[in-house]
Structure 1
Amino acid sequence: MKLSQKQVVFENEVLTRFELFKSLFLTLPFQRVKHTGTLLPFFASHCEQGVEQHLAPEEIIDSFFGQYEQYVQEEDRIDLLFRIVQYIERQVVLFDAVEDSSFQALEKTDETAGLDSLFKLAQSDKKLKNQIVEKLKDFSVRLVLTAHPTQFYPGPVLGIINDLIEAIKKNDIQNIHLLLQQLGKTPFINKNKPTPVDEAVSLAWYLENVFYKVTSNIHSKIDSELELPSDDVKQLIELGFWPGGDRDGNPNVTVESTKRVATMLRTILFRCYYRDFRLVKRRITFRGVEQYLENLQELFYNNSFNPVECPVDETAKILENLHNIKEVLLTSHNGLFVELVEDLIRKVNTFGCYFTTLDIRQDSSVLRNTLQYVVEKYADKTGIQAADLEKEEAEKQKAFIFNEELLDYEEDADPLVKDTLGVIRLIKDIQKAGSERAAQRFIISNCQQASDILGLMQLFLWQGWKKETLTIDFVPLFETVDDLARARNVMYTLYNNEAYAEHLKRRGKRQTIMLGFSDSTKDGGYLMANWSIYKAKVELTALARQYDIDLVFFDGRGGPPARGGGKTQRFYAAMGSEIANKHIQLTIQGQTISSQYGSLDTAQYNIEQLLHAGLISEIKPNSSDTLTEKQKSVIDDLASESHRKFMELRNHPKFLKYLEKLSPLKALSSINISSRPVKRNSDKELRLKDLRAISFVTAWSQLKQNIPGFYGVGTALEWAEENNLWSYVKQLYQNSGFFNTLIDNCMMSMTKSNFDITSYMKEDKEFGDFWTMLYEEYEKTKKYLLKLSNAETLMENYPIERASILAREKIVLPLLIIQHYAIRGIESKRFSEEHQEVYRKLISRTIYGVVNAGRNLA
């Protein structure tokens, strides 16, 4: 088959260059083992052959060492395996850098065109241009950075990656060689488990080095293309931040860490401002601006290097001085260097004195316990009796009188109670320092009833807040299939609650609702999770329109398709008229951050894609994206069949045991990648409902089985064919953007699966039948996806992405063999006791490389 021009470029710019630079990389010596680079290609080839022959990991590795006399001793073998892991970790980084450096050469495009094509149309269509301008005045994209444990390169490694990208772009071999040497000696692994503040510092690298610059570039582009005053689109691109604020199931997040993160974000922002201001001051040396420059010098310098304990919001003062400088330049100096001032104005309009909104999140059970504590301690002041909180939901809601009292807590109170009340007070200080935008959202995880939100609202009024100035948005998070099904009833109750309705009115009648994907996938499978969220959005939109509410959906979508990722912008472009799409808000995490927003080029491209998706879905909607009743009925049936199949799997007695024994699930709790525990209730035995969805998905991806991303889909499609619904399914795939994207993302998840790696398991006495059951569903799903897409291979319509995935899978294959070798050796007690702990560390190290290589999941 003849390759497209884009495929030829990918072959030349990425695959060939990677092989070239990899050969350079393999000559770098690591401490103690001189010949690792020489042996690695032989080891990788040996692993490939072993997998093709369906050999067990111990057979593959033992036969490899059998070829080399110097690796008789266990210590020497372990040492070489660790060095191989080190090399492969860095090969992944090298591939990332090579691929990112070719971004512009590939002229990467997606099915949805970028802003440029939209602006081009607007130049010749005045009506369209006016539509875009009006839409931009009340439209935003909010990207929320989360600290979920799916990938964290340390700051120094991120810096090397970006320097490598630039060096590779220029083919600067000497500099590339130096950077590879630096990479070889730079540690990838944290010696200690990071704190929430450490995580915030890591993510702040992206804020400072990528988002700060890119958001201004995009604003500038829109300003110039549409001749739109920057003040009209102040908040087109918003940023959110969870490290330090997200305490759901993370006991390491405290009031102190939240305060430190808020302070750190403000300080970093002012240092960014100060760097820009120094250029402004260096260029603008004219009369008439001296006092304004002096004022800004003092503001930027002091907030950067001499921060005070209780800072205040200086945004208005900064903008006043910048606008005065701009006016002087325009009236007295022919607008010379005015673009430097406008750039800084755009940034201050976007980031204020806070940089990114710090979201606070806590589980509903903790909030209920806190409410119970206050009510029991201050029964005479709250007006609520403890017994009221035990009543049925309708009666419980009537108990809230929303009185304003300052109620404290005792020092011996439960730590989570103290933290909840403490952070409610702290939010007020954060807002004083950075405006309401600095911390205005409290997200209630596992929100199951209206009283969860009403109770939290009451807690705010008992901690010094006033109804009239309660500048907080209460955001329910509906995540499980059951929670999504009852979301409409919860919101109906809230909209009809007099106190909450008054609060919403003061908040501009805007309600944000978060819909989480990860737990719904773990709860009901891939197809049911997608469909449950879609149905919830339709129902919640209809309800909001009935009550004239400006509804904002905040999507908790992770990196891989199994956690809601994939080609996200295509989902937003294909929402249809039944779903509110005025604002786009989503979480970005793990490998999604580095792959889609790790460099200036990729970040600008992906943010523009989201902007375009939101604009086009309203300005030029596709009528076929709004599903008919028949189409909904068909998808509903498919989701039900898929859910039935997935629940059979979940309820299988070997389900959790399979993950515990054969995947590195246990090791996830010991790696220093996140401050967050692998599961809620971490001191209790493992239960599926306590296991975090991220750990659940990661464990399956390390097995290269990716069950959450496809299981049940094949059975559902087979059912459709047997019940004469295949023509409807085919039509859905061809015409519905939602269904097409859902299926394509499923193919992406399956492309990253490789059952050959674990094919030896089918002979296992305990788990052989279970493995076979998984494999059969994989084969069935593959068969029907190929039939549906009329293709010969998965992802045939995305050859570049497919080639990238396969190249990465080839790089990490030896890591997987080493990992499974270590897991099986520990389980079978093949290794001596003195070596058991060493092999556990080896398992942990392999996890990093496999996860970091999975950026195509984003």
Structure 2
Amino acid sequence: MDKRPINYLESTKKDKKLREDIRVLGRLLGEVLIEQEGEELYQTVELLRSLTKKLRNKPTNQIIYKIKKVIAGLNYEHAYNVVRAFSIYFILVNAADEVHKVRLENNNNKILDDTYLWVIKKLKEDGYSLQKLINLLNKICITPVFTAHPTEATRQTILRKILLLTQLLLHKEFHRLNEDEYQKLLEKIKTQITLIWQSTEIRFHKITVSDEIQRGLFFFKNIIYSEIPNLYSKLNYAVKKHYMKGIEIKPFIEFGSWIGGDRDGHPFVTIDVTKDALQNHQKTIIELYLRDLDILYSHLSPSINIVNVDKSLLNSIEKEKKELGIEITDSNLREPTEIYRHKLILISERLKRTINNSAGAYRSADEFKNDLLQLAKSLINNKGKLIYDNVLKPFIDKVYTFGFHFVKLDIRQNATKINSAIEEILSQSKICHHYLSKTEEEKIDILTDEILNPRPIINFSNLTAETKTVIEEVALIKWGKDNICDLCCEDFVISNSSTASDVLSILLLAKEVGLSKLWNGKIVKSEINIIPLFETINDLRECNMVIEKLFNNRAYKQHLKCRNNLQKIMLGYSDSNKDGGIVTSNYELFIAQQKLTQICDKYNIELILFHGRGGSISRGGGPINKSIMAQPQGSIKGKIKITEQGEMISSKYLLPQIANRTLELISSAVILASAKLWKNKNPNIIAYKKILAQISEKAFASYKNLVNSKNFLNYFRKATPIDIIEHIEIGSRPASRSKGNDLRLLRAIPWVFSWTQNRQTISGWYGFGTAATALVKERKASWEDLREMYTNWPFFKVLIDNIEMVLLKTDMIIGREYAKLYNGNKEIFRLIESEYNRSVKAVLKITNQKYLMDSNPSLQRSILLRNPYIDPISFIQIKFIKEFRKTKNETKKAMLLSLLRSTVNGIAAGIRNTG
């Protein structure tokens, strides 16, 4: 309904080169298919593509019948190759899309409002002096946190080939090639396509946590590490341009990870796995530093015969040679007068000893930084400022960003397991029996007394393995600080947190393992940040009361004082969406942020909100800069943590230029949001919130009516490929926290993944159409009111834009075919389809458009043009799901599962969303 047919979309000048790239890649893929598998496969692919394009222009049952007839004639092997052909097509299209983004950036003469150039210009116009700007930048701290949630369907082997293929496309774009060079480049591209065809895109072994750790490191060491200096150089250029003077920018982006630290419902993240992750991070970053020091050595050749060096540098060299017991001779130094090279040899030696933890190793990253700063000072003092700026400073930026930890590893555990451990500990120590049956106030009193009691209470010999593990998980932070470095690990996230006692439980365990120190009955040292994660609708509604209880607690106040009165709080986008639907989830998240900001301001506590965003719109995804700017005013005061998940990591960070732009988008939005604290609030926001509160209430009721209906769970299990997703080796984590046929036990990620695969995507829009229409019908608001909100309230605009994009990706033609997999009552699909139609109508009324995404024709075209290529994979998936579910033969079942894995990958690549 209301989707513009593809032939209505005229190609624009902007996407002309993109279409040329796609045509070239499609032609090369066709040649590879013929060479590798023969003409028959190529003809089948072309026939299906032709039929599904017709289906998109004029949907009829006759065309659907023809598509099904072609697919019915495919045996397993032929079907598998057809799926792979379309899947690889999407890999190529996605690579072309990424190159096109770079192309548009380079060719755009306008200064976009999400760039450093625009933000710095805006601050200058708003009266920010250079010193005020420096003060603002010094307050910024942005932490993207990479997670291993099972939404990335692409193997690392394929990622490397995609990266190379993308680099070849960029070479074609930005170099003048003669005919011979152009043909050779096409041959290289075709080679990569052939390699992708000959490589399995799916995993036949169970992915391990170690695999995921290596995959995360792939992006950090191959892309992000090198791009950090370029990012700060770009910012400094903007400052120079508008203030006529550059500044010394202190790096304000640090990186976090949950990979190897997140054990919520994950039995394979063991204590040893986490230790291995921390050690792997340190070893990898030091090896990168050693590689860069070799490059620095080749550059830093100033001779003392020509230019002076600081005496302090000379003295430090002599001192360190004695301490390390090494002599710098002609064998490792070509020219003895090149003093900077002397120092670099000593720095390299100390780094090598740091990896081995041997005598002479750096005791901390600060010692390493001080050595580099000594080099920097000497260069600046001795006519080498330009050398410092362009040779040494980029390396120092990396060291300030990554230290000796590379990425900060968060530890996460579920509140239920923590509470069970606390009950056993208190019972075994005879402090309290039946702890879990106590009231919340009683729990708080018991925990507070024990936190402030200096005597230890844990007797390990009497505890169960489960409780010992929870204690050891908290102790991992102490281990990391003692064995890796201070910054490697300090945040403990409590998932499914709902009470103050959940947080105090970790503070008690922190005392027991030595992370907190007492003196005269008071906490005088605390080396842990305890982060409650509020993720259900009810928990979001009550989170401010929980936090206020903590701020008034005598033990927690002392802990906060030791942590510089800083509190991190995580908000869950995924589970709140599964719990309440997209409208209520977004509304309650907005209100929760307002309440938490007010509470923290009241108690003079610095708040850092940790946004647990997923890749898809349903789980908090969407344009990150717009989302940041749409947050409640005052909720971002320079500092923010944000998860980067699944397939969005490769989308945002696989290509260096896109990684750089991603970090610029996030940081420019945070800088601007933090700078605008003094701006007056929009006086209409209060009225807007009242309207949205009513929409949320009605949308919540509509959503709950669907998911709580009698046959819904059976419909979900049959009309989506959830059973296939539960079998495939996308991530190391199980799809559910525990066994059982209860929707609450299913993780939000496979929930969204399943609805994305069957193209019904209810998690991204369900309930909105009913709510908005009912509100207008009841005359509690008008469409004009909603249009005004859309125009004037950034939060509401982002919400509607995101719903609109999901509605365009939703497809009821294909969704209806999946619904036929469920043999029961058709009422549930009727509810979904009618709500879809209502939601489309409501969005079009609010945005004042004729078709979805008319305001963004480039994205509209991209989405619509992908459908004919996704459809054949969907029809194949439906056919073979039926066979998979009815067969009893285990050998055949395994074979079918392999094919179905491939269909999941293909649809995910086509839609560019999984979970």
The superposition leaves residues 499-554 of structure 1 with CA deviations (integer Å, 9 ceiling, x where unpaired) of: 10111111111101000011111101110000000111111111110000111110
The superposition leaves residues 114-171 of structure 1 with CA deviations (integer Å, 9 ceiling, x where unpaired) of: 1111234556776354433221111122101010111142222222112111211233
When Rg is computed on C-alpha atoms for both structures, the one with the higher figure is 2
Q: 1:757 aligns with which of 814, 818, 822?
A: 814
The superposition leaves residues 196-247 of structure 1 with CA deviations (integer Å, 9 ceiling, x where unpaired) of: 1211110111111222122222223334544799997545112110010000
Partner of 1:196: 209
Partner of 1:279: 295
Partner of 1:442: 492
Q: What is the CA–CA distance in structure 2 between the aligned matches of 1:740 and 1:484, rounded to whole Å? A: 22
Residues 794-805 of structure 1: pairs in structure 2 closer than 5 A: 794-805=852-863
Q: What is the CA–CA distance in structure 2 between the aligned matches of 1:322 and 1:748, rounded to whole Å? A: 48
Matched, 1:315 2:365: yes
Q: What is the CA–CA distance in structure 2 between the aligned matches of 1:218 and 1:840, rounded to whole Å? A: 44
Q: 1:213 aligns with which of 199, 218, 226?
A: 226
Q: What is the CA–CA distance in structure 2 between the aligned matches of 1:425 and 1:311, rounded to whole Å? A: 25
Matched, 1:82 2:138: no
Matched, 1:266 2:282: yes
Q: 1:790 aligns with which of 840, 848, 852?
A: 848
Q: 1:572 aligns with which of 610, 618, 628?
A: 628
Q: Contact 1:747–1:795 at 8 Å: present in 2 too?
A: yes
**1:44 Cα offset (Å):** 2.6
SS at match of 2:202: coil
Amino acid at match of 1:113: D
The superposition leaves residues 577-604 of structure 1 with CA deviations (integer Å, 9 ceiling, x where unpaired) of: 3534432221111121111222111111
Matched, 1:745 2:816: no
Q: Contact 2:202–2:901 at 8 Å: present in 1 too?
A: no
**Paired residues, number:** 842
**1:626 Cα offset (Å):** 7.0
Partner of 1:139: 140
Matched, 1:687 2:742: yes
The Cα RMSD (Å) is 3.0
Matched, 1:369 2:374: no
Q: 1:355 aligns with which of 393, 406, 429?
A: 406
Q: Contact 2:151–2:645 at 8 Å: present in 1 too?
A: yes
TM-score by length of 2: 0.87
Q: 1:174 aligns with which of 183, 187, 194?
A: 187
Partner of 1:8: 12
The superposition leaves residues 767-802 of structure 1 with CA deviations (integer Å, 9 ceiling, x where unpaired) of: 422211100100110011011101111111122222
Q: What is the CA–CA distance in structure 2 between the aligned matches of 1:483 and 1:515, rounded to whole Å? A: 10
Q: What is the CA–CA distance in structure 1 between the aligned matches of 2:463 and 2:81, rounded to whole Å? A: 49
Q: What is the CA–CA distance in structure 2 between the aligned matches of 1:619 and 1:526, rounded to whole Å? A: 30
Partner of 1:344: 395
Partner of 1:289: 340
- After superposition, the Cα gap between the structure-2 partners of 1:378 and 1:248, relative to the gap in structure 1 and judged at 3 Å, is same
Q: What is the CA–CA distance in structure 2 between the aligned matches of 1:814 and 1:645, rounded to whole Å? A: 33
Matched, 1:21 2:25: yes
TM-score by length of 1: 0.92
**1:411 Cα offset (Å):** 7.3
**1:410 Cα offset (Å):** 5.0
**1:615 Cα offset (Å):** 1.9
SS at match of 1:553: strand
Q: What is the CA–CA distance in structure 2 between the aligned matches of 1:334 and 1:5, rounded to whole Å? A: 57
Q: What is the CA–CA distance in structure 2 between the aligned matches of 1:515 and 1:612, rounded to whole Å? A: 22
Q: Contact 2:256–2:408 at 8 Å: present in 1 too?
A: yes
- After superposition, the Cα gap between the structure-2 partners of 1:857 and 1:56, relative to the gap in structure 1 and judged at 3 Å, is farther
Q: Contact 1:664–1:843 at 8 Å: present in 2 too?
A: no
Q: What is the CA–CA distance in structure 1 between the aligned matches of 2:75 and 2:347, rounded to whole Å? A: 61
SS at match of 2:745: coil
Q: What is the CA–CA distance in structure 1 between the aligned matches of 2:683 and 2:143, rounded to whole Å? A: 24
Q: What is the CA–CA distance in structure 2 between the aligned matches of 1:291 and 1:692, rounded to whole Å? A: 55
Q: What is the CA–CA distance in structure 1 between the aligned matches of 2:61 and 2:285, rounded to whole Å? A: 54
Q: What is the CA–CA distance in structure 2 between the aligned matches of 1:480 and 1:568, rounded to whole Å? A: 22
- After superposition, the Cα gap between the structure-2 partners of 1:824 and 1:4, relative to the gap in structure 1 and judged at 3 Å, is closer
Structure 1 unmatched ranges of 5 or more: none
Amino acid at match of 2:759: K
Partner of 2:883: 825
SS at match of 1:170: helix
Partner of 1:766: 824
Structure 2 unmatched ranges of 5 or more: 173-184, 303-337, 518-523
- After superposition, the Cα gap between the structure-2 partners of 1:580 and 1:319, relative to the gap in structure 1 and judged at 3 Å, is closer
Percent identical among aligned pairs is: 26
Partner of 2:906: 849
The superposition leaves residues 725-771 of structure 1 with CA deviations (integer Å, 9 ceiling, x where unpaired) of: 02322211110000000000001111111110133467776242221
Deviates further, 133-142 or 643-652 = 133-142
Q: What is the CA–CA distance in structure 1 between the aligned matches of 2:274 and 2:706, rounded to whole Å? A: 40
Amino acid at match of 1:157: I
Matched, 1:552 2:557: no
Partner of 1:583: 639
SS at match of 1:469: strand
**1:575 Cα offset (Å):** 2.6
Amino acid at match of 2:138: K
**1:313 Cα offset (Å):** 4.8
Residues 392-791 of structure 1: pairs in structure 2 closer than 5 A: 392-400=439-447, 401=449, 402=451, 403-405=453-455, 413-467=463-517, 468-620=524-676, 623=680, 628-681=685-738, 684-724=739-779, 725-726=781-782, 727-760=784-817, 766-791=824-849
Q: What is the CA–CA distance in structure 2 between the aligned matches of 1:768 and 1:56, rounded to whole Å? A: 22
SS at match of 2:569: strand
- After superposition, the Cα gap between the structure-2 partners of 1:560 and 1:112, relative to the gap in structure 1 and judged at 3 Å, is farther
Q: Contact 1:747–1:794 at 8 Å: present in 2 too?
A: yes
Q: What is the CA–CA distance in structure 2 between the aligned matches of 1:793 and 1:378, rounded to whole Å? A: 66
- After superposition, the Cα gap between the structure-2 partners of 1:60 and 1:837, relative to the gap in structure 1 and judged at 3 Å, is farther
Matched, 1:64 2:70: yes
The superposition leaves residues 361-403 of structure 1 with CA deviations (integer Å, 9 ceiling, x where unpaired) of: 0000011111122222333xxxx32245532111111112213
Amino acid at match of 1:732: M
Deviates further, 47-56 or 811-820 = 47-56
Deviates further, 812-821 or 166-175 = 166-175
Q: Contact 2:516–2:527 at 8 Å: present in 1 too?
A: no
Amino acid at match of 1:368: N
SS at match of 1:436: coil
**1:285 Cα offset (Å):** 2.7
Deviates further, 250-259 or 432-441 = 432-441
Q: What is the CA–CA distance in structure 1 between the aligned matches of 2:119 and 2:10, rounded to whole Å? A: 23
